Amino acid sequence: MKSILTALFLTFGSLAIAGPYGHGHRHYGHYNHFHNRHWHHNHGWVIPALIGGAVVYAATRPDAVIIQQPPVILQPNQVIIDGVVYTKQYIIMNGVQTEVLVRQ
């Protein structure tokens, strides 16, 4: 709702400066014809075009995608290393007990 109100406000606000005498100049027929014919440029379309482009850009941007990984439930004898789950196991070799990690 806030973006719609902002777009309407900017649209109607830009109409005030987009007219043929958009910069507060009221000529009423008393102006130099040479000046208007050769040097006067009407750039009243620039601000409405920028506002319209910003509104269209904001309206067509895709929403951010948030991906949540499911929680990993570990048993007491499990370990995570670099995102891989390992199970602790003990082996006895030559009479020596050694802890090893076995990938799941």
Q: What is the pLDDT of residues 5-43, one digit of tens each?
A: 677 777 766 666 655 555 555 555 555 555 555 555 677
Return the bridge partners of 79, or none.
86
Residue numbers of the domain that contains 89: 74-104
Q: Is 88 in a helix, a strand, or coil? A: strand
> Residue holding tokens 């606000």?
13
**Do 95 and 55 share a domain, yes or no?**
no
Contact status, residue 27 vs residue 33, Cβ threshold 8 Å:
no
The helix (H) or strand (E) run that includes residue 80 is strand 78-81
**pLDDT given for residue 76 in this prediction:** 87
Q: Is residue 66 part of a domain?
A: no
Is 67 inside a domain boundary? no
Same domain, 8 and 41: yes
Q: Say if residue 80 is in the same domain as residue 49.
A: no
User: What is residue 40's predicted lDDT score, i.e. its pLDDT?
Assistant: 56
Same domain? 10 vs 55: yes
Residues 11, 52: one domain? yes
- Identify the residue with better confidence: 86 or 72: 86
Same domain, 53 and 17: yes
> Tell me, what's the pLDDT at 15?
62
The count of domains in the chain is 2
User: pLDDT-based confidence at 54, cuts 50/70/90?
Assistant: very high
Percent of the chain with pLDDT over 70: 68
Q: Are residues 47 and 79 in the same domain?
A: no
Residue 90: phi, psi to the nearest 5?
Answer: -115, 135
Question: Do 56 and 6 fall within a single domain?
Answer: yes
Q: Is position 69 within any domain?
A: no
What does the block give as tokens for 43?
């750039």
- Cα–Cα distance between 34 and 36 in angstroms, integer? 6
